[in-house]
């Protein structure tokens, strides 16, 4: 389905010496426990912020014609497909909120 598309994995976001801001925020806010879901959570979080910045609406956006703004509801809806068996959700929200430019 994605032949010819560009796919960015966690290895493509940053390096151990130069972390992507989302990777650094996940560490700062303990946005993981076992780490099993973490690569997907971080890649999705980066994509969520890009989607919102691009004006792509979600099911919780107030309008399909005006640009959505970052909110906890937008984040939770857009990240809803990412399941964490350890329940690190509150810390993940804090990390993504910080990267989005709002106080965590």
- Give the binding site for ligand FES (CB under 6 A): 32-38, 84-86, 88
- CB-nearer residue toward ligand FES: 62 or 87: 87
Least Å distance, CB 27 to ligand FES, is 13
Torsion of CA 49, 52, 57, 63, to 10 degrees: 140
81 vs 101 by CB, closer to ligand FES: 81
How many angstroms separate the CA atoms of 27 and 19, rounded?
A: 10
- Within 13 Å and on the Cβ side, how many CA atoms surround 104? 17
Q: How far is the CB of 72 from ligand FES (least distance, A)?
A: 19
Rounded least distance, CB 69 to ligand FES, Å: 27
CA separation for the pair 81, 76 (Å, rounded): 9
Nearer to ligand FES, 38 or 61 (CB): 38
């Amino acid at each position: 389905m994605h032949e010819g598309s560009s796919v960015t994995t966690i290895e493509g976001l940053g390096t151990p010496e130069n972390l992507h801001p989302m990777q650094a925020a996940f560490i700062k806010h303990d946005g993981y426990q076992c780490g099993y879901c973490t690569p997907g959570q971080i890649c999705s979080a980066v994509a969520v912020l890009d989607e919102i910045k691009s004006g792509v609406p979600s099911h919780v956006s107030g309008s399909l014609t005006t640009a959505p703004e970052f909110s906890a509801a937008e984040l939770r809806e857009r990240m809803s497909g990412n399941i964490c068996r350890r329940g690190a959700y509150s810390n993940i929200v804090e990390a993504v909120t910080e990267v989005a430019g709002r106080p965590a």
